[in-house]
């Protein structure tokens, strides 16, 4: 293929590294596109490229460059997207956790002195 393929989406998950053999490892990235009909897409990163996913976090918007790989096995056809680069387009902002204030026991009781709704 002449053209470089890329897809933009929000990171849904970065899966753990899988060792398929002594010489072959892979890691999968799951993204969701921001199309009219969003698509959930799995992209494989293999060998030395798995380290590209170390700093990727759930919620980031990324642009993933990939190659399409296909093969036939036992009269079935399989297609994989093999990532070779990833750029963070939009980083996530940490969501501040709301502070939880202790509730006064007397405030939770209704006019009848209990907390039952009837």
**According to the CATH classification, is domain 5-108 in 3.40.50.20?**
no
CA gap 118, 110 in Å, rounded: 10
What is the model's pTM?
A: 0.71
Q: What is the DSSP letter of 20?
A: -
21: Cα separation from own chain's centroid: 25
Residues with Cβ within 8 Å of residue 20, at least 6 apart in sequence: 26
Return per-residue pLDDT of the chain as tens, 118 residues.
556 899 999 999 999 988 888 899 999 999 999 999 999 999 999 999 999 999 999 999 999 999 999 999 999 999 999 999 999 998 876 556 566 665 655 555 555 566 655 5
CA torsion, ordered 25, 68, 8, 32, to nearest 10 deg: -70
DSSP 32-99: E--SSS--EEEEEEEGGGGGGGTT--TT-EEEEEEEEEEEEETTEEEEEEEEEEEEEEEPPPPPPPPP
C-alpha to C-alpha distance for 115 and 103, rounded to whole angstroms: 13
Sketch the domain layout of the chain as residue ranges. Answer: 5-108
């Amino acid at each position: 293929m002449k053209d470089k393929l890329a897809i933009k989406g929000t990171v849904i998950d970065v899966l753990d590294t899988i060792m398929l053999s002594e010489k072959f490892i892979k890691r999968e990235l799951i993204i969701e596109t921001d199309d009219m009909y969003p698509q959930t897409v799995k992209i494989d990163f293999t060998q030395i490229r798995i380290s590209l996913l170390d700093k990727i976090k759930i919620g980031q918007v990324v642009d993933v460059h990939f190659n399409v790989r296909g093969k036939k096995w036992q009269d079935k056809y399989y297609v994989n997207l093999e990532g070779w680069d990833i750029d963070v387009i939009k980083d996530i902002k940490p969501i501040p956790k709301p502070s939880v204030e202790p509730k006064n026991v007397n405030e939770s009781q209704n006019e009848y002195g209990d907390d039952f709704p009837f």
